[in-house]
Amino acid sequence: MDINLTINGIVHEVEISPGDNLLNALRSIGFVGVKHGCETGECGACTILLDSQPINACIYLAAQTEGHVIETIESLGEHPEQGWKTTPGLHLLQEEFVDSGAIQCGYCTPAMLLAAKDLLDRNDTPNEDDVREAFSGILCRCTGYKKPVQAVLRAAAAARGEDLEPITDRPPPPMEWSGGDPGFSNEIGDLPDEIQGAGSKAEEVIAPAQVMPRIELTPETEAWQRVGKPEKKVDALKLVQGKPAFAADFERRGMLVAKVLHSPVAHAHIKRIDKSKAEALPGVAAVLTWQDIPRVVYSTAGQSDPIPGPLDSFSLDNKVRYVGDRVAFVAAETEEIALQALALIEVEYENLEFILDPEEALQPGAPLIHDEPEYVNFADSNPTKNLAAEIRIDIGNVEQGFEEADFVYEGEYEVPKVQQAHIEPHVTITYWDENDRLVINSSTQVPFHARRQLAPVLGLPVKRIRVIKPRIGGGFGGKQEILSEDVAAHLTIATGRPVIYEYSREEEFIAARSRHPMRIKMKTGVKADGTITANAMYALSDTGAYGGHALTVTGNTGHKSMALYVGDGEYRKSPNIQFYADIVYTNHPPSGAYRGYGVPQGFWAVERHMEKIARELDLDPIEFRMKNSLRQGEMQPFSTAWSEGREPRPEMIETCALDQCVQQGKAALGWDQKFGNPEWQLVPGKPQLRRGVGVALVMQGTAIPYLDMGAASIKMNDDGSFNLLVGATDLGTGSDTVLAQMAAEVLGVEVDDIIVYSSDTDFTPFDKGAYASSTTYISGAAVVRAAQAAAQRIKLRAASMLNNQQTEASLIAGEIELIDNKAVAPDGRSISLADIALDTLHHNDQEQIMGIGSFVSPVAPPPFAAQFAEVIVDIETGQVLVDKLVMAVDSGVIINPLTASGQIEGGMTQALGYAVSEEMVYDQDGHPRETDLRDYHIFHAHEMPELTTIFVETFEPSHPFGVKAVAEIPMDGVAPAVGNAVFDAAGVNIDSNPVTPEKVWRQLQNSNRSLS
């Protein structure tokens, strides 16, 4: 049927089915700024204005909206200069989102902008609560909401004609630690509304706060023009306009829609499968079962060669190993037909005994999850014992250390399975190009690994596959897994037609990957003075049905969290550390990579355990930690013991500002006034409430030494601009921007003179992809090398051109500096890069100035951080409200304080979910409890605590600009800091996260804590 929709003032005739929702109808006619993140009205990515009211387009029938006025992001504003035409330009909100760093992946940005427009249309003086309320129906998994809220407040202030604090100013320095007044108050007005009750709203804040983080700068950054500055994101303009940028936005003519039939049972053989009825359904182009495609064993984990894990997966198999496993693929003309076809596939399952408990999986006689002959072992994997990996690392002699200890403390901790919950689902479009090469346009973090690993699965040589990575709407490790690409590719091979396969939100929960749940045992020997003499961890890790990331994720659990505390004195010189782990198969959905990559699990156990030891020994918890923690100039203790199954090599800690991080974090939180202050802990007039503060120290890694390689190429254009081609994949982290900043710094140009393209396996150099917090460090060093190579040619040509002018002395290239788009001689003469480009491309000794560089690091310099949390616990109900999170981070030099602080804010917010609300739970048959974003609670804008980020810069000598990693470390410390703060507030130890009201309440009941 045809309907007329009035969209942005223009009437469009749209062909729809009666059941089509407005989201699909709008996207089908090119309004791709309306995004799909779920099907049930929970994520808000599809927000549009209907008769000036924000609504979720996914839950409105398109036919219902005929005769109404629809506004999409495309109506808001546009680039001001379009060739000879000028436009009214961007809306103030769009400008402020760009300037304030409010965009990370940008997937939620159109929705936020429309919700903000609605707010400002109604209220020109909104306060922060108003903005957060306006955003309350839109989930953002990247930003932590802080910068989007500030962007709206700034836009409102600008609209009122008020002066705004310039964001280009140098960032504010950290707080002086003087022990003075940290600014806290014991007044009721400081409390969140939920606890205060109605009518006690905090003081209104209308003026926007500072969007920049606090930074203690290194002196090296002072001479730099582009590095260290809050440059605008190079891709921000297209994102605020809702331009086609994401994989699903690139529709192909004649494209089929793919759907997957998922297993309803946890473990079974497929005894019989009959697809004849589905194939006979009009509009169905292909139905594939395990009988239709080659049986090729592979790993879905996108990693470098050789894959550091077992090969245990098939695109389709005659056995299912978890509820949600793949059974069949369908491609049809429409989504509706594809779903009907799934229902017509007849499957007879021969149910097998299943295992959901990782301890039972290790018992002799347990049912085997992988008994297929094609299984390929890696390292100590052993499918006959349900072992996907085994780790045994001994550093020093823990038994001797325990004997030398005055006290030995043991504890058991547990961490749940949690979901990455990126708002853009996994999505792939595949098609044959005119040269019979298969094009895979995918939301992948690992385009080069995907090409290499899929080639045998698809029966194609690598050279006949091209993987394009467009903009990614968040990945957080979930898109390091090759999950949607093979489905679409098999169906394109079967039909010869373009195919799109996009996960539903339910599929993200049942059939994607998630963080490994673990049971962790700690045993620590301590002298009476607080010296750690030995520290041991055993982790039992549940990899679920497949084990691609089993070894590497769980290895990282010990490699980072157990490296932080080495002991003191003689023990510091020769620490006693043990890390053992069994990573077992169960019939749970597979675990995989999730931001932090095993380290958040480790630090939950280590930092809860350290807190308990400090309290038991009546030691200051921070002093106890600092006494034993790793320091600059010491060896990373695991570096000589383990390296993901490869040869370990020693690594020195060249930079560590943990002590300054602690001081800065304490100052920002007011730790000294609050910790151990019974008066502060009580809330006047609210006898059931207790306040508490907690801390966790953490470290991460930066890339994988001797393995992770990134490359870049750069070429000069006629006007002195440059194309920078990188294989690195920006997930929303801002990596394209920081890579452009580094290139711009070397070449002496503006950031917008660097046109970044990432990534396409046909055109961009290799990069291992976005994981292990490595892009700024690895790919950044490659960019610097490529830019230096180009700069060298530019200087040679400049010297030659200047020497031909009338001068007394001959210049040599080494004397030339590139600055302000010019090559400048020491005597002040200069020549523009545009003139050099014209000369080299058109006039004399023509050549293409370009450079290429690649980089692999011999070290993985760890970032360090001190994470603080302040909570309020209701000791009647067990409710925990996290009031403040403060993170002080040593990530080396900060290339862009806006994008980096956005990473920290967004990371702390994800970690907050891990601390208090997120977990994936299964019933006794392996069916998931959480299958949507209603049951799985990630934080909304109006629920957020105050977030503070402080960077303490160090200069890491292994990188040309001194950087270390930023992206993952904010995942590590929030949960234990919250757990420790809950203990501080209410005296209860919660050893399994999330710290839910029920757990706190039960512990309170057990401890018989009263209100007195």
Minimum Å distance from CB 832 to ligand FES? 38
The answer to the question of residue 142 lying near ligand FES (CB under 6 A) is yes
42 vs 317, which CB is nearer to ligand FES?
42
Site pattern 423..452 for ligand FES (x: CB under 6 A): x-----------------------------
- Would you call 4 exposed, middle or buried from its count of C-beta atoms within 10 A (0-12, 13-18, 19+)? exposed
The answer to the question of residue 141 lying near ligand FES (CB under 6 A) is yes
Identify the sign of the CA torsion 554, 507, 320, 358.
positive
- DSSP secondary structure, 680-729, as one string: HHEETTEEEEEEEEEEEEEE---S-TTT-EEEEEEEE-TTS-EEEEE---
- How many residues at the interface with ligand FES, by CB under 6 A? 23
159 vs 154: CA distance, rounded Å: 8
The answer to the question of residue 585 lying near ligand FES (CB under 6 A) is no
109 vs 628, which CB is nearer to ligand FES?
109
Region for 748 from its dihedrals, namely left if φ exceeds 0, alpha if ψ lies in -120 to 50, beta otherwise: left
Single-letter code of the amino acid located at 818 = L
- Within 10 angstroms of residue 848's Cβ, the number of other Cβ atoms is 12
What is the DSSP-derived secondary structure letter of residue 247? G
Q: Looking at the DSSP assignment, which residues form a beta bridge with residue 534?
A: 525
109 vs 428, which CB is nearer to ligand FES?
109
Per CB under 6 A, which region of 39-47, 571-579, 610-618, 675-683 contacts ligand FES?
39-47
Question: Kind of pairing, strands 10-15 and 2-7?
Answer: antiparallel
| Residue in 16, 25, 32, 38 binding ligand FES, rule: CB under 6 A | 38
Contacts with ligand FES in 95-114 (CB under 6 A)?
104-108
551 and 308 Cβ atoms separated by less than 8 Å: yes
Per CB under 6 A, which region of 140-148, 608-616, 791-799, 837-845 contacts ligand FES?
140-148
661 vs 666: CA distance, rounded Å: 8
The answer to the question of residue 43 lying near ligand FES (CB under 6 A) is yes
Nearest CA-CA partner of 761 in 426, 450, 459 = 450
- Cα→Cα distances 828→741, 821, 837, Å: 25, 14, 20
| Residue in 33, 44, 727, 748 binding ligand FES, rule: CB under 6 A | 44
Minimum Å distance from CB 106 to ligand FES? 6
33 vs 106, which CB is nearer to ligand FES?
106
Per CB under 6 A, which region of 35-43, 253-261, 707-715, 860-868 contacts ligand FES?
35-43
Per CB under 6 A, which region of 30-38, 569-577, 627-635, 854-862 contacts ligand FES?
30-38
1000 and 990 Cβ atoms separated by less than 8 Å: yes
| Residue in 143, 313, 381, 992 binding ligand FES, rule: CB under 6 A | 143
Contacts with ligand FES in 361-380 (CB under 6 A)?
none
106 vs 309, which CB is nearer to ligand FES?
106
246 vs 983, which CB is nearer to ligand FES?
246
Per CB under 6 A, which region of 137-145, 799-807, 874-882, 974-982 contacts ligand FES?
137-145
Minimum Å distance from CB 42 to ligand FES? 5
Helix then strand then coil, in percent of the chain rounded to 5, is: 30, 25, 45
426 and 508 Cβ atoms separated by less than 8 Å: yes
Minimum Å distance from CB 233 to ligand FES? 11
Alpha helices in 293-356 (DSSP H): 335-344
Give the distance, in angstroms, between the CA of residue 396 and the centroid of all CA atoms in the same chain. Answer: 35
| Residue in 25, 48, 56, 322 binding ligand FES, rule: CB under 6 A | 56
Minimum Å distance from CB 545 to ligand FES? 28
The answer to the question of residue 115 lying near ligand FES (CB under 6 A) is no
- Cα→Cα distances 159→114, 395, 564, Å: 16, 61, 49
Contacts with ligand FES in 730-789 (CB under 6 A)?
732
Nearest CA-CA partner of 795 in 773, 766, 824 = 824
The answer to the question of residue 391 lying near ligand FES (CB under 6 A) is no
Q: Looking at the DSSP assignment, which residues form a beta bridge with residue 287?
A: 330
33 vs 621, which CB is nearer to ligand FES?
33
885 and 912 Cβ atoms separated by less than 8 Å: yes
205 vs 773: CA distance, rounded Å: 36
The answer to the question of residue 41 lying near ligand FES (CB under 6 A) is yes
Contacts with ligand FES in 466-505 (CB under 6 A)?
474
Minimum Å distance from CB 384 to ligand FES? 43
Which residue bears the tokens 């630090």? 603
737 vs 1003, which CB is nearer to ligand FES?
737
Q: Which residues bind ligand FES (CB under 6 A)?
A: 36-38, 41-46, 56, 58, 104-108, 140-143, 423, 474, 732
